[in-house]
Amino acid sequence: MERQNCDKRSGPLPKLNTDGLVYAFGYSPAAVGMMESRTAEANADFFLPHLSKGMNIVDIGCGPGSITVGLAEAVNPGTATGIDIEPSQVSLARERAAEMKLPNCRFEVGSVFELPIPDNSVDAVFGHTILMQFQNPEPVLDEVKRILRPGGLVGFREIDFGASLHSSEDDAIRVVMSLLRRSILENDGNPDIGRRLPALVSQAGFEVISAKPTYACSSTAPERIGMYNVMKSLWEQAVFVAEAESAGWLTAEERSALPDRLAEEANDPGRLTGTTYVEVVGRTVA
């Protein structure tokens, strides 16, 4: 993830710049646990059919590497390199790859604005919810294009908060997502980037091979309860919640009452929530 942690502070959220970035999601145990639950099979399934053995692939904003290791297995004996700006996430990713005995999987600390990868040296680049961190992702796409060989592939999966689905306007889960969306906006990100993703990839000079929206949702009672429990933990730990209260986006009473509301919704079989993602596969034009 291309954000560095920040201390709690009063007043509006700090603006982002390439010298001191703030990651609204944060690196609390709940946030890291959510990132660690991602897999290539679930979150890069749209891209896996385009990969083949022997390819070299780079996963930008790889976090704890839970997707990267799956990409490494898909391209073995080719290599998978995960890049993340947060050293703690790279350390977790390296431990994961070592435990899985994946010698073709490596991780490096680095920025998506200056990838530590030579020009024209990789066959594919993958990114999961990384472009949403920037109002202007063009420099990131240019850097991706720089490291790709002619005919190289890109796969991006980006969220679109504005197109997500909730049972009602006052759902507690909607409050969580709305405040996270606002935090990303305040930090010069684009939480609704999904709808623009095909155009952004095309404008960057890639041929768009496929583009589609999807919903991520909890369809059974155990899945719904598990998801709400994760959201409850995130609410209690995430930096953006404390900052939202400091900025006056919600009151202390609203903040303290929300975990109980989440617990109530978790046990309501009439609740429905779906988070919208857009998945795009592109190719460099030779």
Q: Is the pLDDT of residue 18 over 50?
A: no
The reply to whether the predicted model has a pTM over 0.95 is no
Confidence band for 22, pLDDT divided at 50, 70 and 90: low
Q: What is the pLDDT of residue 243?
A: 84
For residues 125-132, average pLDDT? 97
Amino acid at residue number 240? F
**H helices within the chain, ranges in order?**
29-36, 40-43, 68-75, 87-99, 138-147, 172-186, 197-203, 221-237, 239-246, 252-266
Amino acid at residue number 120? N
Q: What is the pLDDT of residue 8?
A: 28
CATH of 29-284, one of 3.20.20.70, 3.40.50.150, 1.25.40.20, 3.40.50.1820: 3.40.50.150
Q: Give, as one character, the DSSP assignment of residue 4.
A: B
Average pLDDT, the chain: 91
Instruction: Read off the pLDDT of residues 254-266 as tens digits, 9 standing for 90 and up.
Output: 999 999 999 999 9
Q: Is the pLDDT of residue 2 over 70?
A: no
Region label for 218, one of left (φ > 0), alpha (ψ between -120 and 50) or beta (otherwise): beta
